[in-house]
Chains A and B, each alone.
Chain A
């Protein structure tokens, strides 16, 4: 008997926790959906972005809202469960009637949301660096495409550090596999021999790096300068860097350049073994600019903790939100089709002292920065591109996609347009 009561209690508590935290207001507002995981494995990264959107909404409302109406956040928790992302997106658009959604982190969650958002003609701002090969009418990609992160990073290693041998290490899922495929094609094109490229995949949350690091050490001791290009995701990075430190591989011998390690990830770990390793992003908290200082101060005030760091996806959320506000003001409505057209060509200041422009392919133009990890968990910028790099949705280095472009302006209006055959593929993305 007791056990039944207990199980019932358990069931109820699960039910309550999975219900959305929607707030209903009586007055006429514009609703903004926030679709980031607040529990489960991805909560570690996504909770911060939820807070960033809330902060931006708060600031916008202080300025008088948009079109004379206040903004109202509708926060849901897809709990790091990919199919649940699709359900929650449907709920946000159909039940709550949101005008725009800010959300998703992993590529698989975005792929899960995509059909729903296209079917219901919603609007999604996706703020994370990703593998490219996609452009949807209903999605704006404010994170980096591979040519805005991976390719410049490899150029830096090759030209400035004289790297000749490459280890491409990644977690076994879509983003690292596609990125590594693009990088391998790029390196071969640059004349790197097949024997000088080593590709290695590990499961999510891999914690025993002994043999892989020993292998990298051997690969790097054969006389040529070696670097590791890491697309290792999330938690697995900490034991990886620790093992590198313990086996005595320093950043001068074999530098590791990471695409998924930012200030937020470093704040949870002992950075001593990481000093000197690299990361490629479009933004670092350490960048010295007036916008950045204002953003960091606003963030510390909003989150009531001046130890919290900022990172690249937060900047992407910041840019995306400001662009959406501008586009709505320009279109004079929150109607998705009108806002979508108004978005193209919209500019907004980024946090590194420049200006981001939304391109025809629904991607941004961004500067690319390379930073070295410092002992305090921040990055020291050691290299940056001369100007802005336009996001390329379809990689030029993959045979399947080099003739394909995305252009959402008339007359093409297509996310998957083949410039050779002059046709738009049947699929929308």
Chain B
């Protein structure tokens, strides 16, 4: 049994390796070396028409400008937005926000601008963009969207930041001030100084003072003033601060650096040391997060393969079924995406567990003790499941929407932020792991499972219905894979190939951790994840995977039973 496992693991690892090497070699042979270029293509840069537009829109009132906005081309829009910001001031905030969110429309005939958004019932409702007065439901087809592009988006964001600097909540004011650090000029400084007069929040004041200090360094202030400003910037992690200081430190053109430059260089090296420290933490988090995905993918297999000893090549498809269940549940309750995920978890467990029990009852049961035939049969099942999904749901990927609370990130400081979805999945994987551990160690089902896997005949002699226990165990392993599929649907594509991506990783983790040992699986998943993420910056993603596989092959040669071999009579 163990030999087969070892052999399969090595063969799979070799196959993957060979594939990787072949692709790389292929690419090398196809491309030609070194390059110098001679010609320019026919694509000409476009002439900017903003300058022309600016002249025309001076001295126009807000209603005029709004009408212009409806007709404007993308090149004219920025000038109109500028004019709106300067003549409308604070009152423009709802307009800018609606525009940024893509909710600004105009009526085709009257060119009247209004905001159209979906309400809770999914109907399009219009409202006046400046007064927010409700204008009732409309048919969005009668209206056209006010077009924006990246340039306009950037401009809107700046304008909103400037308004928020004095009007927003404390968090908004701080975010606005931080955003304004990038590209400081006289008007920013004026806005900062204005804001500082009324600002009471210490953190916001802090950021604004950094901005003013940066302006001092950029200006032609005296050396002593600049040194005071530098003190203010000591230890700041914001990217604009570091870039400014680096450029000052490196600008020593004629020989001896000035006191300001020396001081700036010292501060930069201090900042860099701090950043490196946070980068290490960030990499560790990335590693743990990759580990949690590996753990989720492998944990069901740790039951079916680890505890029962069935080589289940259809394990990946159980993950896929879980992910598709999430999709179906979202389709059934489109209005409550946030809730759907909580419905999806038990549903995915039931769906995958049912499929697992069916496979166990009708196929695997008859192949007991014949690992190679089990391998082939389950591989066939995995192909059948994939193609069925392709037929039922189409070969295209399905769209699973992430709940709001899972997107975004937790910003600890300007250089370290942890993404929410990864944090939740890390916690989720640990919860699933410990629940599984409880089931196996503390329930009668768990006791039966362990008894059957250690000595089938003896367990049967003691009155345990081994066939039912087998089906339940396989269902449990598959169901947990289904739950993992729910988590994976938040990270990757929900498509027919979802399972194939994880099957090799899953076997790798279980074999590395020691077959039959759940804690081994946990440790293997996290150590492989962390190792991968620390290798990746050095070697690139392709080679990092390769090195991990080589390492596992060598490790299995040395310790065939993995990190934590089973001991005692159960081992043989």
A contact set with B: CB distance below 8 Å: 2-3, 6-7, 10, 13-14, 17, 38-39, 41, 43-44, 47, 108, 131, 133, 147, 151-152, 155-156, 159-161, 172-174, 177-178, 181-182, 184-186, 188-189, 200-203, 205-208, 210-212, 214-215, 221-223, 235, 238-239, 242-243, 245-248, 250-252, 255, 264, 267-270, 272-273, 275-276, 368, 372, 374-375, 380, 382-383, 385-387, 389, 396-402
Name the residue of chain A whose CB is nearest to the CB of B376: A7
Q: Which residues of A contact B435 (CB under 8 A)?
A: none
Per-residue contact bits, chain B 417-460, to A (CB 8 Å; 1 contact, 0 not): 10111100000000000000000000000000000000000000
Name the residue of chain A whose CB is nearest to the CB of B28: A177
Q: Which residues of B contact A156 (CB under 8 A)?
A: 43
In the complex, A397 Cα to B239 Cα: how many Å?
Answer: 35
**Number of residues in B with C-beta < 8 Å to the partner?**
83
Known: A39-B387, A269-B397, A270-B400. A389 touches B41 (CB 8 A): yes
B127 at the interface (CB under 8 A from A): no
In the complex, A160 Cα to B150 Cα: how many Å?
Answer: 11
Provide 28 A-B residue pairs closer than 8 Å at the C-beta atoms, listed in order of the A residue: A3-B366, A3-B370, A6-B363, A7-B377, A14-B380, A43-B390, A43-B496, A47-B395, A155-B43, A161-B150, A178-B30, A181-B35, A200-B540, A202-B541, A207-B501, A208-B289, A210-B422, A223-B243, A235-B493, A246-B419, A247-B417, A270-B402, A383-B46, A385-B44, A389-B42, A389-B43, A396-B39, A397-B35
Q: How many A-B residue pairs have CB under 8 A?
A: 228
Q: Which residues of A contact B491 (CB under 8 A)?
A: 207, 239, 242
Whether B36 lies near A189 (C-beta < 8 A) is yes
- In whole Å, how far is B410's beta carbon from the nearest beta carbon of chain A? 10
Q: Which residues of A contact B151 (CB under 8 A)?
A: 161
B367 at the interface (CB under 8 A from A): yes
Known: A151-B43, A246-B420, A387-B42. A252 touches B286 (CB 8 A): no
Known: A7-B373, A252-B150, A375-B102. A205 touches B497 (CB 8 A): yes
In the complex, A402 Cα to B34 Cα: how many Å?
Answer: 12
Q: B30, B42, B380: which contacts A385 (Cβ < 8 A)?
A: B42
In the complex, A215 Cα to B282 Cα: how many Å?
Answer: 11
Q: A201, A208, A212, A238: which contacts B397 (Cβ < 8 A)?
A: A238
In the complex, A106 Cα to B32 Cα: how many Å?
Answer: 20
Known: A205-B501, A211-B537, A235-B397. A276 touches B41 (CB 8 A): no
B37 at the interface (CB under 8 A from A): yes
Whether B37 lies near A246 (C-beta < 8 A) is no
Q: Which residues of A contact B411 (CB under 8 A)?
A: 248
Q: Which residues of A contact B247 (CB under 8 A)?
A: 223
Q: Which residues of B contact A389 (CB under 8 A)?
A: 41-43
Whether B102 lies near A374 (C-beta < 8 A) is yes
Q: Which residues of A contact B34 (CB under 8 A)?
A: 399
- In whole Å, how far is B336's beta carbon from the nearest beta carbon of chain A? 16
Known: A203-B20, A383-B46. A399 touches B533 (CB 8 A): no
- In whole Å, how far is B82's beta carbon from the nearest beta carbon of chain A? 16
Known: A10-B380, A172-B542. A43 touches B149 (CB 8 A): no
B358 at the interface (CB under 8 A from A): no
Q: Which of B35, B383, B399 has the most CB of A within 10 A?
A: B35
Q: Which residues of B contact A203 (CB under 8 A)?
A: 20, 541-542, 545
Whether B36 lies near A172 (C-beta < 8 A) is no
In the complex, A43 Cα to B150 Cα: how many Å?
Answer: 33
